[in-house]
Amino acid sequence: MHIADGILPVGLCAAAGAVSLAATAWWGRGVHNGEVARMGLMASTLFTASLIHFPLAGTSVHFSLLGLAGILLGTRAFPVVFATLLMQSLLFQHGGLLSLGVNALNMGGGALVAAALWHLLPGGIRPRVFFCSFAATMTAALLMAAGFAAAGYGKGFYWIAGVYSLLALIEAALTVMIVDIVRKVRPEVVTA
DSSP class per residue in 161-186: HHHHHHHHHHHHHHHHHHHHHHHHH-
Kindly state the helix (H) or strand (E) to which residue 59 belongs, with its residue range: strand 59-62
Q: Is 161 exposed, middle or buried (0-12, 13-18, 19+ CB in 10 A)?
A: middle
Domain ranges of the chain: 10-189
Q: Is 30 exposed, middle or buried (0-12, 13-18, 19+ CB in 10 A)?
A: exposed
pTM: 0.93
Q: What is the pLDDT along the chain (192 residues), one digit of tens a residue?
A: 688 888 889 999 999 999 999 999 999 999 998 899 999 999 999 999 988 888 877 777 888 999 999 999 999 999 999 999 999 999 988 788 999 999 999 999 999 999 999 999 998 999 999 999 999 999 999 999 888 888 888 777 778 778 889 999 999 999 999 999 999 999 888 887
Q: Cα separation of 57 and 79, whole Å? A: 31
pLDDT of residue 1: 67
Query: Pick from 145, 146, 126: which is nearest to 67 by CA?
Result: 126
Q: Cα separation of 79 and 58, whole Å? A: 32
Instruction: Kindly list the distances between the CA atom of residue 50 and the CA atoms of 11, 64, 65, 87, 152, in Å, as whole numbers in the listed order.
Output: 27, 6, 9, 11, 28
CATH topology of domain 10-189: Arp2/3 complex 21 kDa subunit ARPC3 (1.10.1760)
pLDDT of residue 34: 86
Q: Do the beta carbons of residue 11 and residue 99 sit within 8 Å? A: no
